[in-house]
Amino acid sequence: MRINKNKIGHISLISVSVGLAITQIGIHTGLLQGPFWDVLSAGFLAGTVGGLADWFAVSALFREIPIPIVKRHTNIIIKNRVKLTEGVVDLVTNKWLSPETIREKLSEVKFAETLITFFKQPQNQERIFNLLDYILKQIVENLDNPQLAKFLQKILKDQLSEFDITKLLGNWLESAVKTGDHNKILDMFLNAVRQALSDPEIYDFLSVELEKALNRYANKHWFRQLVISAGEITDIINVDDATDILIKKAKSIIKNIQENPDHPVRQAFDDFVLDLSNKFKSNDIKIQKIIKGLKNRLLQSVEEQEIIKDILSKFKATVVKELNQKNSALNSFFIKKLNQMLIELETNVDIKEKIDNWLRETIKNLVEKYHFEIGNMVRASLKKLDDYGLVKQIEEKVWDDLQYIRLNGAVVGGIAGIFIEIIRLIFI
């Protein structure tokens, strides 16, 4: 049968006490005679004394023993509570969790690897995105607030009214010519014209306009009219053929311009852009007047129309809609970027080392600055407990082991008593 540990002390004391009583009664009644029983009785006597002494020592730690004179040396934990608390605080802060111990432990921790492992787990990523979702929703919640729109509108107006865009445009145009970026605009325009020339509506338009031009030319003189009429009758002059030739020629010219970097049209376009750039940079009066007119119209538009408010409202609606859809483009973007960052971080030893060093240094500085808070936390935790609660917690942790002290007291005392009695019998 298994013996409950917290009863071992009581059982050991009762055992030696019963043994003492039986042997003493047997010896005094003559039932037990001989040196063996004297030695055994001496052992039970010493064991009883040792068990009682250790019972008193163990019990005196946790409660008051109502024995005159000596009771002032009992209930040690409660009477020395302040000293014990400070001893625990000193042990925790200056031994177990001293700055040196923490720094030594920090040097062994791989923070970057731990963070990568943590963030790679799907459930943790979901928690991160839930937090990000909450933060973004809180941010966009008041985006359509009229006061915010009014504030941004004022900033935009102030910036537009003070911003000198002419020199900026001039420098940008000059840079575009040097890098050849302006040719993209010309090529885009040429492609659009070339595609438009294949449109049946453009063909009809050119055919009609060519017919009108021919009629206007003929109406200026009777002889021209006679010749043109004869040409149309004999099919020498055919508007449809002329339109086809005109379109083909135009396409050929456009193709030539596109394929020839040194084409005169491109040179003329370069000169035009550079000339415009110089006018912008030199504060040309006509250019300044045009820019001023554009700025005034834009400022008036910003003032009269609720552009900023509309933009903010639409932006808010779009963001909220994206956040509410689990597989939306915005959420997919966040997931993709996070995993890309984790992959890059996992393979980049330098970055991981920098993260580890930064976190170690940061934690070390925090520990050194707020190390006293560890002691305050321990002190506050102990202070929350009343006397009964403090004793109860300590008893729960050490009471079973303390019972073995009582058992050892009885056993060791008994053995010592046996040896002392044997020596007494031999030499006395």
CA–CA separation, 260 and 190 (whole Å): 13
DSSP string spanning 58-102? HHHHHS----TTGGGG--HHHHTHHHHHHHHHHHIIIIIT-HHHH
pLDDT for residue 273: 80
CA–CA separation, 4 and 55 (whole Å): 17
pLDDT for residue 21: 93
**Residue 86: partners with Cβ closer than 8 Å, 6 or more residues away:** 379
Burial class (CB in 10 A: 0-12, 13-18, 19+), 192: exposed
pLDDT for residue 1: 39
Beta carbons of 13 and 24 less than 8 angstroms apart: no
pLDDT for residue 163: 62
pLDDT for residue 147: 74
Which CA distances in Å does 285 have to 7, 171, 279, 280, 282? 107, 17, 9, 9, 9
Q: Among 316, 257, 269, which residue's Cα sits nearest to residue 139? A: 316
| The residue type at 221 | H
6 secondary structure, DSSP code: G
pLDDT for residue 306: 66
Backbone angles phi, psi at 80, to 5 degrees: -110, 30
Q: Is the pTM of this model over 0.75?
A: no
Beta carbons of 413 and 20 less than 8 angstroms apart: no
Blockwise average pLDDT, block size 10, the chain, 428 residues: 65 90 91 89 92 87 82 83 87 84 84 86 85 83 74 69 68 77 80 82 80 76 68 68 83 85 84 79 73 68 64 81 81 84 86 88 86 86 84 82 85 90 84
